[in-house]
Amino acid sequence: MNFGEFWKSVHDAIAELLGIEDDVSFEKLIDISTEEEEK
C-alpha cells in the first residue's frame, strides 16, 4: 500500500466517522482547523 492509498483510507474513515460524504466538506473542515491553529 502506497501513501496515497493509505491517505485515502484514512480520509474515508474520518469522513465516515464525521458523517461527511462529500470531499469538498472534508477539505473545508481541514481549512477551518488550519485557520484556527494559525490564529
What local confidence, expressed as pLDDT, does residue 38 receive?
A: 64
1-39 residue pLDDT tens: 688 899 888 888 887 887 766 556 666 767 766 676 665
Tally of structural domains, the chain: 1
Amino acid of residue 28: K
Residue 9: all three cell numbers together: 483510507
Assessment of whether the complete model's pTM goes beyond 0.95: no
Give the helix ranges, DSSP H, for 1-39: 3-18, 23-38
What local confidence, expressed as pLDDT, does residue 31 receive?
A: 73
- Domain range enclosing 30: 3-38
What local confidence, expressed as pLDDT, does residue 8 receive?
A: 85
Residue 26: all three cell numbers together: 472534508
The whole-angstrom separation of Cα 8 and Cα 31 is: 18
